[in-house]
Structure 1
Amino acid sequence: MADLDEQLITAARAGDLNALTTLVADSHPTVRRFARTLCSTPEDAEDAAQEALIILYRKIGMLRATSALTSWMFRIVRNECLRRARLLLREHPITAETTAASAEDEVLRQLEAQAVAAAIADLPPDQRSVLVLRDVQGYSGPMVAKALGLSTAAMKSRLHRARSTVRQTLGGRP
């Protein structure tokens, strides 16, 4: 299977339109699933996934190593989701008036979610990507390491630092 994927990516990089079409079609479910975990709305997730696939389609020839495809796609989706979230916050800033109208439990839940999201957003990009893939999406350690082009030990180290930083930011024990 890995050899087939390798051949498909190599052919797509060389300009084979059928290989590129197959690669985009095969990547779409994974990219869309990843986008749904990061984007705030299903529509933004679908748009981010589409944007990633368009970039893949246009720039596959620039990919340096075939093993970097997955991490490249995840970075594109992550960046697109972050761009859309920033745009949404600029257009509709969260104010005390909008949260005061909600029930007390909902406000507390939103505040906790915002604190966690802010703590994760403040992480360095390398730690944030490991934390999101491992703890949010639930991918296995070896899968995360491979997707990001890291050794398992490096992935574990980044994950530990990311978790510790989030815990400290949220006021927990180190």
Structure 2
Amino acid sequence: MDATELGDAVALARGGDEVAFGVVYREVHPMLLGYLRGLIGDDADDIASETWHDIVRDLGSFRGDGSGFRGWAATIARHRALDHVRRGRVRPRTTVLDEHVAEPATARDSEGVALENLSTERALALIAELPRDQAEAVLLRVVLGLNGPMAAKVLGKRPGAVRTASHRGLVRLSERLKGAEEK
């Protein structure tokens, strides 16, 4: 979906159109979740939920197009992730979460889903090994599809710094992948 189509769906969602909100959610959520997984790992689903709560709460005040919405959503997600990290330092988790949660049945091909999940997990694991500024820049530029100025706004940096960090991160990832193929 291009920025214009997303912007149109966001405008309809702001007006209360639930179907349009569903379109916005299905378009943005997977990329937002990938970004959060790269930032905070296993707690990404919880933080994504908090992020969407804030998006729904403040959607009426959002003004902008589809690209602006992606940036706005990424900024909210980043703030929630940073809050989560700070909370973890103050109150470490003391209980183990049950990992055996029933998964809903899907109509998708199980093998394809498994391969997609493995490749996504591998990519996010490689990105997580990058220096933080490079990892965030790659996540915002590649996973969320933000342009340099929008990613810079999310990170509070200059666009050139974000483009440089993204480029360096992608070069490092490329080198790691070439090294893995040679083994």
Give the structure 2 partner of residue 56 of structure 1. 55
Give me the whole-angstrom Cα distance separating, in 1, the residues matched to 2:140 and 2:10.
25
Which residue is equivalent to 1:23? 24
Q: Quote the Cα distance in structure 2 between the aligned partners of 1:25 and 1:135.
A: 22
Q: TM-score, normalised by structure 1?
A: 0.57
Q: Secondary structure in 1 aligned to 2:142?
A: coil
- The letter of the residue matching 1:4 is E
**In the alignment, which residue of structure 2 is the partner of 1:108?**
none
CA displacement at 1:158 relative to structure 2:
4.9
Q: Contact 2:12–2:20 (CA<8 Å) still a contact in 1?
A: yes
Q: In the alignment, which residue of structure 2 is the partner of 1:5?
A: 6
Structure 1 contact 68–147 (Cα < 8 Å) conserved: yes
Q: Determine if the alignment matches structure 1 residue 72 to structure 2 residue 75.
A: no
Percent sequence identity over aligned pairs: 20
**SS state at 1:139 partner:** helix
1:82-115 deviations in Å (ceiling 9; x for gaps): 11111111124xxxxxxxxxxxxxxxxxxxx9xx
The size of the alignment, in residue pairs, is: 127
In structure 2, relative to structure 1, the CA distance for the partners of 1:137 and 1:69 (3 Å cut) is closer
Deviation for aligned residue 1:47: 0.8
User: What is residue 45 of structure 1 aligned with on the other side?
Assistant: 44
Distance 2:38 2:138 in 1: 11
- State the distance in 2 between where 1:138 and 1:68 align: 14
Instruction: Please tell me the residue identity of whatever aligns with 1:156.
Output: G
1:134 and 2:148 equivalent?
no
Deviation at 1:36, TM superposition (A): 0.3
Matched AA of 1:62: S
Aligned-residue Cα RMSD (Å) equals 3.5
C-alpha distance in structure 2 between counterparts of 1:20 and 1:58, whole Å:
13
Normalised by the length of structure 2, the TM-score is 0.55
- Cα deviation, 1:9-63, whole Å, max 9, x if unaligned, reads 1111222121112212222111110110111x41x21111111122222221111
Question: Could you say what secondary structure the match of 1:73 adopts?
Answer: helix
Whether the 8 Å contact between 2:148 and 2:163 is mirrored in structure 1 is no
Q: 5+ residue gaps in structure 2?
A: 93-127, 166-183
Query: Quick one: distance in 2 between partners of 1:22 and 1:136?
Result: 22
Alpha-carbon deviation of 1:65? 1.0
1:76 is displaced (CA, Å) by 1.2
Which runs of 5 or more structure 1 residues have no equivalent in the other structure?
A: 93-112, 121-127, 162-174
Larger Rg: 1
